């Protein structure tokens, strides 16, 4: 891939010649008359760290289980490395899964848990031992090799599960909410560890999570799902800066949503939001038609707050401070507009005395640039 | 310490007396010197010696143990398979009917089970002997085994077996290397239960045994009709000892299993 000397950005999905490792094409999964996965198509490339993100019950686990071979699609095709997976049982796929519950074998030691898959391949004793030791080293669990799963901590069990699923060097590793059971601090450490291991082993990872921060931290691309449907697939930056729908904008990070109708569309898009007020100016986030219902989405950190009216900006609204939150590194202001909406704005505290001049009930101006906000359909 | 303690002691004593005094008398009289069962004439173990000389009794004992071993092993295999299919393979067509039919023999009067088996064996022209008793005992013991094993399987985490498959194991390997070792204590208790049931059984065995094979309960029952002999007391004492050991072992195993499972669940 990378031919020139300069550091190339990892973005195989932008290269039309790149062949995806996994093709999910028009896959639907029904349980009885309930549709858990609704016509989903995704291409996942080699060495990607791909995140499936969505609220609980949206079908993330079901999609993973179809990749692992525990469920068969009701419609559509899944192929891995060019091979149609339709008739391939789970034990013959070069795919391993780290289960949400870890599913460590309670009657086997850490060592034997990791060796389980290797032994199924009929590897010689020496090879099994060498690989297990390598895995133990990778997850730093050497001194716990002889313990049973119930004799180690939750974080250690999580690492055993990871080592076990990586031991066979699968083409694809599926991680179903791997960090769900860990506390916040351990979670963050482990996220970086996971990224490190992914890079070292060069394995393609698909991770399921309902935690948007986690998805943004670890993933090369994120797929946002809702009710079995795929809403958007993009890099974390694009998901954050260019969400294609109100659902995605609202799901990822903090956002102010102002409802209205689409006005003129030209260089940007206008949103008519209140009688007798100037239209808000933003970038169109998806196909828009004039006059249709739309929502203006603007992130709190993109809004400036001032006492005087900022005449140089088209997007400016006046309101009253309802609430102030001081978070140390930044302050948040909740400003109530006379037209109804409450807009949240976030300001970094760069100097120790900055912005101390605003207080509750103050009349202030909020403003943002023409390109800071998005006009989204719906 | 407790206001009710006298009452508790009395009721406990009464309960245990009711349960165990008959057996205690039997055990005591098995060591009686006299041939008359009801007259105590001093301590002796001679009836145990005579028992060993009684070939018919020894034969019957041997048949009983053989039948119990074979039928409980067979019942354990079949019962475990039935439990596995019902609990682990989810819903399939006719599952409710199937599970209902597995458990029905539990409440079926033994006389009916025995009679129907007898009719079956006659219909297919199977000579009554050790084989027919084994088959009959397997039939009624496997329901008990499947009850014991399925209650363990219900709390078994499905994803363990999926993890095994995911790591390249076949269905059979997943069962043998993961499921079976974990549910082994329940399978062993099931086996012990089936073994004891077979040892105990009189009704079904009388229907399905033939002149070539008599089990101990049948032998005892028929010889008691001619009068209780001290030899029978000695034999019964031995049986009581065996059953006691069996029951104790089973309860120790299941207690250990519960402790271990609690540990593992706390970990999971
Ligand atoms: N085997 C099944 N039978 C019936 N419904 C199922 C089955 N598996 C999952 N579902 C349903 O499919 C939906 C998606 O489940 P899941 O994929 O586990 O969601 P997530 O992992 O995103 O929380 C849920 O509503 C769940 O109840
Ligand atoms: Mg899930």
Neighbours of A371 (CB within 10 A): 13
CA pair distance B63, B69, nearest whole angstrom: 10
CA pair distance B12, A241, nearest whole angstrom: 77
Domain boundaries, chain B: 55-240
Banded model confidence at residue A206, pLDDT cuts 50, 70, 90:
very high
Q: Taking 70 as the threshold, does the pLDDT of residue A152 lie above it?
A: yes
Task: Name which of A32, A85, A91, A132 to mutate to probe chain B: the one with the most chain B Cβ atoms within 10 A of its Cβ.
Answer: A91
B1's tokens: 């310490």
Does any ligand 1 atom lie closer than 6 A to the CB of residue A228? no
Dihedral class, residue B43 (left if φ above 0, else alpha if ψ from -120 to 50, else beta): beta
A221-230 pLDDT, tens per residue? 999 999 999 9
Above pLDDT 70, what percent of chain A?
Answer: 96
A328's tokens: 């140390």
Do the bridges between strand A95-98 and strand A330-336 make them parallel or antiparallel, or are there none, so unpaired? unpaired
CA pair distance B10, B13, nearest whole angstrom: 5
State which residue of chain A sits closest to B180, comparing Cα positions.
A107
Per-residue pLDDT at B164: 96
**Cβ neighbours of A104 in B, within 8 Å:** 163
What does pTM read for this prediction? Answer: 0.81
Sequence-distant (≥ 6) Cβ neighbours of residue A264 within 8 angstroms? A270, A279, A290
Ligand nearest to the CA of B90: 1
Per the CB < 8 A criterion, the answer to whether A31 and A71 are in contact is no
Per-residue pLDDT at A293: 92
Does any ligand 1 atom lie closer than 6 A to the CB of residue A59? yes
Question: Where is A363: in which H helix or E strand?
Answer: strand A363-368
Looking up tokens 């974390």 gives: A236
Question: Where is A319: in which H helix or E strand?
Answer: strand A315-326
Contact B164 A116 (CB under 8 A): yes
pLDDT along chain B (268 residues), means of 10: 73 88 87 81 87 86 92 96 82 74 81 91 90 92 91 88 94 94 91 89 89 86 81 86 84 81 68
Banded model confidence at residue A356, pLDDT cuts 50, 70, 90:
low
For atom 2 of ligand 1, the residue with the nearest CA is A31
**Cβ neighbours of B162 in A, within 8 Å:** 70, 90, 99, 103
Task: Name which of A105, A118, A157, A165 to mutate to probe chain B: the one with the most chain B Cβ atoms within 10 A of its Cβ.
Answer: A105
Per-residue pLDDT at A7: 56
Q: In CATH, what is the architecture of B55-240?
A: Orthogonal Bundle (1.10)
CATH 2.40.50.180 fits A254-351+358-377, yes or no: no
Per the CB < 8 A criterion, the answer to whether B78 and B138 are in contact is yes
Domain with CATH 2.40.50.140 in chain A: 254-351+358-377
Q: Taking 50 as the threshold, does the pLDDT of residue A233 lie above it?
A: yes
Above pLDDT 90, what percent of chain A?
Answer: 59
Ligand nearest to the CA of A100: 2
Domain with CATH 3.40.50.300 in chain A: 12-94+172-181+202-253
Q: Which residue has better confidence, B229 or A149?
A: A149
Per the CB < 8 A criterion, the answer to whether B45 and B164 are in contact is no
Angstroms from B265 CA to nearest CA on chain A: 8
Per the CB < 8 A criterion, the answer to whether A37 and A62 are in contact is yes
From the options 3.50.50.60, 3.40.50.720, 3.20.20.140, 3.40.50.300, give the CATH code of A12-94+172-181+202-253. Answer: 3.40.50.300
A291-320 pLDDT, tens per residue? 889 999 999 999 999 888 888 888 989 999
CA pair distance A203, B18, nearest whole angstrom: 71
Cα(A59) to ligand 1 centroid in Å equals 6
Contact A105 B160 (CB under 8 A): yes
């Amino acid at each position: 891939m990378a031919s020139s000397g300069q550091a190339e950005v990892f973005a195989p999905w932008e290269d039309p010649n790149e062949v995806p490792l996994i093709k999910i094409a028009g896959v639907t999964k029904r349980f009885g008359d309930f549709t858990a996965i609704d016509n989903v198509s995704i291409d996942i490339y080699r060495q990607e760290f791909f995140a499936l993100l969505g609220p609980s019950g949206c079908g993330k686990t079901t999609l993973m289980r179809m990749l692992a071979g525990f469920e068969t699609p009701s419609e559509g095709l899944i192929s891995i490395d060019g091979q149609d997976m339709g008739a391939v049982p789970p034990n013959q796929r070069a795919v391993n899964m780290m289960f949400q519950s870890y599913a460590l074998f309670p009657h086997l030691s850490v060592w034997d848990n990791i060796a389980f898959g290797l032994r199924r391949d009929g590897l010689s004793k020496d090879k099994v031992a060498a690989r297990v030791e390598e895995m133990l080293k990778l997850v730093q669990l050497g001194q716990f090799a002889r313990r049973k799963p119930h004799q180690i901590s939750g974080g250690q069990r999580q690492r055993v599960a990871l080592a076990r699923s990586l031991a066979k060097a699968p083409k694809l590793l599926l991680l179903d909410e791997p960090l769900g059971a860990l506390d916040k601090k351990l979670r963050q450490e482990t996220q970086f560890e996971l990224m490190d291991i992914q890079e070292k082993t060069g394995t393609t990872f698909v991770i399921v999570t309902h935690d948007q921060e986690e998805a943004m931290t670890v993933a090369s691309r994120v797929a946002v799902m809702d009710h079995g449907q795929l809403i958007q697939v993009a890099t974390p930056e694009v998901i954050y800066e260019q969400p294609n729908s109100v659902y995605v904008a609202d799901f990822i990070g903090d956002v102010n949503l102002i409802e209205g109708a689409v006005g003129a569309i030209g260089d940007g898009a206008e949103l008519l939001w209140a009688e007798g007020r100037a239209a808000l100016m933003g970038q169109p986030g998806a196909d828009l038609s004039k006059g249709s219902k739309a929502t203006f989405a603007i992130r709190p950190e993109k809004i400036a707050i001032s006492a005087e009216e900022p005449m140089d900006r088209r997007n400016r609204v006046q309101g009253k401070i309802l609430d102030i939150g001081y978070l140390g590194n930044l302050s948040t202001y909740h400003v109530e507009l006379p037209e109804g909406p409450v807009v949240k704005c976030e300001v970094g505290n760069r100097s120790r005395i900055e912005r101390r001049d605003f207080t509750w009930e103050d009349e202030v101006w909020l403003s943002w640039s023409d390109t800071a906000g998005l006009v989204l359909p719906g | 310490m407790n206001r009710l303690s006298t009452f508790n002691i009395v009721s406990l004593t009464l309960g245990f007396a009711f349960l165990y005094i008959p057996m205690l008398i039997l055990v005591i009289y098995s060591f009686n010197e006299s041939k008359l069962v009801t007259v105590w004439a001093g301590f002796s173990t001679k009836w145990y010696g005579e028992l060993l000389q009684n070939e018919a009794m020894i034969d019957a004992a041997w048949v009983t143990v053989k039948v119990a071993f074979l039928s409980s092993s067979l019942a354990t295999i079949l019962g475990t398979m039935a439990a596995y299919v019902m609990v682990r393979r989810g819903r399939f067509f006719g599952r409710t009917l199937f599970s209902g039919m597995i458990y029905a023999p539990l409440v079926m009067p033994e006389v009916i089970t025995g009679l129907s088996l007898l009719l079956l064996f006659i219909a297919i022209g199977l000579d009554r002997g050790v084989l027919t008793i084994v088959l009959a005992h397997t039939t009624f013991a496997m329901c008990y085994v499947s009850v014991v094993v399925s209650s363990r399987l219900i709390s078994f985490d499905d994803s363990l077996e999926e993890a095994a498959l995911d790591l390249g194991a076949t269905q059979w390997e997943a069962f043998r290397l993961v499921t079976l070792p974990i549910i082994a204590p329940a399978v062993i208790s099931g086996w012990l239960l089936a073994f004891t049931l077979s040892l105990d059984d009189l009704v079904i065995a009388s229907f399905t045994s033939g002149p070539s094979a008599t089990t101990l309960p049948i032998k005892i029952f028929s010889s008691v009709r001619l009068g209780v002999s001290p030899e029978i007391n000695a034999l019964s004492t031995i049986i009581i000892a065996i059953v006691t050991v069996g029951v104790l072992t089973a309860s120790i195993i299941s207690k250990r299993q519960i402790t271990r499972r609690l540990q593992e669940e706390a970990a999971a």
